[in-house]
């Protein structure tokens, strides 16, 4: 006479080789709760930093637009570097330097934010000439993209 096999849930699972899913689900839920809680805390800090920055910069206007950023493009030309920006059109570097102070009339050059965008084929010396023209006009906050 052959002995009868056990037919409970544990013996069936062990015979099929299925891993236990309960510990994996527990760990996944703990990680999910951790990320949800950290996102809530991080979100509040981000809004607090935004409110502090906007209130310190413009105390009378807490929800104001960001400052304007002017773009100055440097491209190669037949007689050297050509510079375009501030509504002056495309000018050679020496003409750009001469007409820039007139273009900035009525603006505070020290408060302007300017981004130089040289084309990939522009010579480095032309980019330096554009930067020197901006520096001579009083623009201090200049970045290169």
Write the pLDDT tens digit of every residue in 26-60: 999 999 999 888 877 766 555 555 555 555 555 55
> Residue 1 domain-assigned?
no
Contact predicate 128/81, CB 8 Å: no
Tell me the pLDDT band of 90, cut-offs 50, 70 and 90.
confident
Q: Based on the fold, state whether residues 73 and 139 are members of the same structural domain.
A: yes
**Residue 141 clears pLDDT 70, i.e. is over it:** yes
Counted domains in the chain: 2
> Residue 2 domain-assigned?
no
Tell me the pLDDT band of 68, cut-offs 50, 70 and 90.
confident
Q: Based on the fold, state whether residues 79 and 44 are members of the same structural domain.
A: no
Question: pTM above 0.75?
Answer: no
> Residue 62 domain-assigned?
no
Domain that holds residue 114: 69-144
Higher per-residue confidence, 66 vs 122: 122
Q: Which of 102, 78, 82 is nearest to 92 (CA)?
A: 82
> Residue 3 domain-assigned?
no
Q: Based on the fold, state whether residues 20 and 77 are members of the same structural domain.
A: no
Burial (CB < 10 A; 0-12, 13-18, 19+), residue 83, is: buried
**Residue 124 clears pLDDT 60, i.e. is over it:** yes
Q: Based on the fold, state whether residues 76 and 121 are members of the same structural domain.
A: yes
Strand partners, 48: none
């Amino acid at each position: 006479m052959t002995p009868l096999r056990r037919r409970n849930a544990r013996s069936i699972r062990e015979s099929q080789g299925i891993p236990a899913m309960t510990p994996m689900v527990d760990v996944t839920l703990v990680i999910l709760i951790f990320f949800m809680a950290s996102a809530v805390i991080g979100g509040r800090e981000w809004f607090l930093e935004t409110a502090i920055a906007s209130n310190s910069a413009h105390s009378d206007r807490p929800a104001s637009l960001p400052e304007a950023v002017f773009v100055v493009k440097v491209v190669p030309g037949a007689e050297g570097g050509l510079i375009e920006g501030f509504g002056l059109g495309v000018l050679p570097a020496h003409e750009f330097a001469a007409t820039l102070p007139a273009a900035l009339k009525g603006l505070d050059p020290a408060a302007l934010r300017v981004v130089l965008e040289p084309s990939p084929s522009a010579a480095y010396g032309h980019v330096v000439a554009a930067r020197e023209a901006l520096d001579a006009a009083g623009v201090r906050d200049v970045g290169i993209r």
